[in-house]
C-alpha cells in the first residue's frame, strides 16, 4: 500500500509539472505574440473582394500589419467584420479611416488606414474583450460600382440628346447657316473698299463734330459772360432807381406840379393877362 501511494504522489507531481510547463510556454508565447501585434477591428459594407487572411494592412501607404480574420456580421448581413493585427508601436487615432484600396486596376487589394489628425485621441488597446474599432468608408471602386448604374443612365440620356441634336434635319439647317455666313462674309469682302471709305467719312464727321462742339462751348461761354454783364447792369440800374436819383426826380416832379398849378390858377383869374400882358398902369408919383 505504501509503494502504491508513492507512485500516486510521483504521478501527480509529474502531471503538475507538465501542466505548469505548458502554461508557462503558453504564457510566454502569448506575451511574445501580444508584444508583436496590436489588434483592431473595422467593418466594411458590401463586397470585400480581394481581402483575406494575411492581406496587407498599410498606414499612410506603409506596411504595418495584416488581416487576421474575416467574418460576417451576425446583426447585418451586408457588413463584414475585419480584424487587423498591426505594429503595436503604431498610434491609431479615433478619426482614422480604414478603406479597401487597390494597387492599380489589376493589382491586389489591401486595407489602407488614414492617419487622422494629431489632436484626436488615440484608440486604446485592450488585452481582453472587444477590439478597438477603426472607422471605415467605401473604397473608390465600391463608390464607382454603386454609382455606375446612375452614370450609365446619364450617359444614355446624353447620347439620346446628341442623336436628336445631330438628326438629318438639324444637320441640314446647320449647313444652311454656315452657307449663309459664308455668303455674308463674301459680300463684306467684296465691299471692303466701300466699308473703309464709309469708316473714313465717319471719322471725318466725328472730327468736325468735335470742332463744332468746341465752338458751341466757346459761344456758350461768351453768352454766359454777356448774361453776367446784363445782370450787373440791371443791378446798377436798380440801385440808381432806388437811390438818391429817385429822390431828386421826385423833387423836380413836385416843383413842376406846383408851377403847373400856379399857371392854372392864373389862367382862371386873369386869362387875358397871359395873352396880352398886364395893361393896368400903376400910379406914377408927380
- pLDDT digit string, tens, across residues 124-135: 876 666 889 999
What pLDDT is attached to residue 113? Answer: 92
Residue-wise pLDDT for 64-107, tens only, equals 999 999 999 998 888 999 999 999 888 899 999 999 888 876 67
Predicted local distance difference test score (pLDDT) of residue 8: 62
Higher pLDDT, 193 or 145: 193
What pLDDT, on a 0 to 100 scale, did the predictor assign at position 43?
Answer: 93
Q: What pLDDT was estimated at residue 84?
A: 93
**Among 8-12, 29-33, 78-82, 158-162, which stretch is predicted with the lowest mean pLDDT?**
29-33
The residue ranking higher by pLDDT, 186 or 212, is 186
pLDDT tens digit sequence for 28-47: 544 444 457 889 999 998 88
* Confidence check: pLDDT of 195 > 50: yes
For 182-191, how does the pLDDT look when each residue is reduced to its tens digit (9 = 90+)?
Answer: 888 887 778 7
Render the chain in DSSP notation, one character per residue: -HHHHHHHHHHHHHHHHHHHHHHHHHHHHHHHHHHH-EEEEEEEES--TT--TT-EEEETTEEEEEEEEEEE-TT-TTEEEEEEEE-TT---BTT-EEEEEESSSSSPEEEEE----TTSPBPPP-SSSSPPEEEE---HHHHHHHHHHHHHHHHHHHHHHHHHHTSHHHHHHHHHHHHHHHHHHHHHHHTHHHHHHHHHHHHHHHHHHHHHHHHHHHHHHHHHHHHHHHHHHHHHHHHHHHSHHHHHHHHHHHHHHHHHHHHHHHHHH-HHHHHH---PPPP---
Amino acid at each position: 500500500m505504501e509503494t502504491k501511494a508513492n507512485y500516486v504522489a510521483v504521478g501527480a507531481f509529474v502531471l503538475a509539472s507538465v501542466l505548469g510547463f505548458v502554461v508557462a510556454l503558453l504564457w510566454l508565447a502569448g506575451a511574445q505574440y501580444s508584444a508583436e501585434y496590436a489588434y483592431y477591428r473595422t467593418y466594411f459594407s458590401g463586397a470585400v473582394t480581394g481581402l483575406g487572411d494575411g492581406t496587407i494592412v498599410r498606414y499612410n501607404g506603409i506596411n504595418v500589419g495584416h488581416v487576421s480574420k474575416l467574418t460576417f456580421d451576425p446583426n447585418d448581413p451586408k457588413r463584414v467584420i475585419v480584424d487587423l493585427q498591426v505594429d503595436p508601436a503604431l498610434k491609431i487615432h479615433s478619426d482614422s479611416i480604414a478603406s479597401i484600396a487597390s494597387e492599380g486596376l489589376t493589382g491586389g487589394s489591401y486595407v489602407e488606414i488614414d492617419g487622422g489628425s494629431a489632436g484626436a485621441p488615440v484608440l486604446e488597446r485592450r488585452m481582453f474583450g472587444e477590439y478597438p474599432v477603426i472607422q471605415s468608408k467605401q473604397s473608390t471602386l465600391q463608390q464607382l460600382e454603386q454609382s455606375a448604374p446612375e452614370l450609365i443612365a446619364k450617359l444614355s440620356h446624353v447620347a439620346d440628346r446628341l442623336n436628336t441634336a445631330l438628326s438629318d434635319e438639324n444637320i441640314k439647317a446647320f449647313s444652311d447657316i454656315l452657307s449663309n455666313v459664308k455668303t455674308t462674309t463674301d459680300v463684306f469682302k467684296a465691299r471692303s473698299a466701300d466699308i473703309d471709305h464709309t469708316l473714313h467719312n465717319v471719322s471725318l464727321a466725328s472730327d468736325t463734330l468735335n470742332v463744332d462742339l468746341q465752338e458751341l462751348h466757346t459761344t456758350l461761354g461768351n453768352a454766359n459772360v454777356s448774361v453776367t454783364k446784363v445782370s450787373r447792369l440791371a443791378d446798377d440800374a436798380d440801385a440808381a432807381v432806388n437811390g438818391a436819383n429817385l429822390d431828386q426826380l421826385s423833387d423836380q416832379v413836385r416843383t413842376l406840379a406846383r408851377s403847373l398849378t400856379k399857371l392854372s390858377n392864373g389862367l382862371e383869374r386873369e386869362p387875358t393877362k397871359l395873352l396880352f400882358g398886364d395893361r393896368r398902369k400903376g400910379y406914377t408919383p408927380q
